[in-house]
Amino acid sequence: MYGFRYRGRHSSEFGVDLLSYTINSPELREYEEEVPGLPGIVDYGTEWSKRSIDMQIDITPTAKPFKVQQSKILNWFKPTLPAGILVFDEIPDRFYYAKFTGNLGIQQFGTYGTFEFAMKCTDPFIYGPEQIVENTITSNPESIFVVSAGTEPTYPVIRLQNAGNNTINGFSLTIISEVE
């Protein structure tokens, strides 16, 4: 069984197994207006909105009453806190900023129970460890091309270090953003 880590704690700490999850595509916010007498619409653009993740979990029965375990899980999810980092065991190098939303749908059978619920990602993007590091030591002018395979344009972090006694003369830096 797979689990997940949320707010730095693993689901196994709560006796929770992840039965299934669905990472939905982010919603879209479309800005448009209908103008009388004009065919179609005026499109002012589109932006990414929130993303939802639907999850189904079960609780391993213990000697503790089911409602006590349920309360511990609700306290862990605590929707009044800001979004926390959510990582699934199946994809441990990617994470989401998510928070509990909606209701905790419960099906209880004695000391066993399953829950269906949704997590809301107000930041719809998936984050991961992608880093492209290009170490170049040169005394002559040189062009360096670095390509990121991410899905969204991302600003680079460029660090220049002068190890010698000379200043950097005639330096130019061009960042080209190509969106396919």
Most confident range, picked from 78-87, 111-120, 143-152: 78-87
State mean pLDDT over 142-153. 67
Q: What local confidence, expressed as pLDDT, does residue 36 receive?
A: 94
Give every strand in the sheet of 9-10, ordered side by side. 9-10, 4-6, 84-88, 96-109, 112-121, 51-59, 16-23
Q: Is the pLDDT of residue 102 over 70?
A: yes
CA dihedral (138, 143, 148, 152) positive or negative: positive
3-state secondary structure of 179: coil
pLDDT higher than 90, residue 82: yes
Q: What is the pLDDT of residues 134-144, one digit of tens each?
A: 666 666 666 77
Q: Which domains does the chain have, with CATH numbers?
A: 4-121 (2.40.30.200)
Task: Work out the percent of the chain whose per-residue pLDDT is above 90.
Answer: 49
For 124-137, how does the pLDDT look when each residue is reduced to its tens digit (9 = 90+)? 999 887 666 666 66
CA 150, CA 53: separation in Å to the nearest integer?
21
From CA 66, how far away is CA 79, in angstroms rounded? 21
Output the average pLDDT for the chain. Answer: 83
Reported as a single tens digit per residue, the pLDDT across 11-63 is 999 989 999 999 999 999 999 999 999 999 999 999 999 999 999 999 888 88
